[in-house]
Structure 1
Amino acid sequence: MKDAIKELLKDRRSLKEAAIVAVLHLVVNFGMHLVGWGNGMFSWWQTLLAAPVIGFFYWLFLSGFRRFANEDVTPPKYRK
């Protein structure tokens, strides 16, 4: 388990992208409310709490998928 977590933490590109996604979530949500197009579903503190959670899940899924991106999943009888 510890090895898998260390391997996921080595993916710095995904960590940077997760931070960008978290910040973009905040900017878009607050921007929509400033323009008057917000849905009023979440208050400002709920948005601040949700942004890191969204970034974390983005990082978790993206890092997990990138680990297996270069694997060949073609069945053996169809490989050339």
Structure 2
Amino acid sequence: MSIKNNLRLIMAEQRINSLTELMEKTGLSRNALKKLWHDEDLETVKIGTLLKVCDALNVRLSDLLEYEPIGKASKD
């Protein structure tokens, strides 16, 4: 499974320069955003966290994360 995380790209486009700014914008704690920010274990990030980030950044979930099933990349 491959998940592409576009958080930092979206933040750059919206001129959000730090995790602290994202925390203020979303109302989420640093711990809640840590996996998403560091692009680690994205499969375990809570859906509520993702939805709050999407709402704060005014993006769709599919804009924030892109999922590509195993094997699809090798068939292209």
With the length of structure 1 as denominator, give the TM-score of the two structures: 0.28
More strand by share: 2
With the length of structure 2 as denominator, give the TM-score of the two structures: 0.29
> Using CA pairs below 8 Å that are at least 6 residues apart, which structure has the higher relative contact order?
2
More helix by share: 1
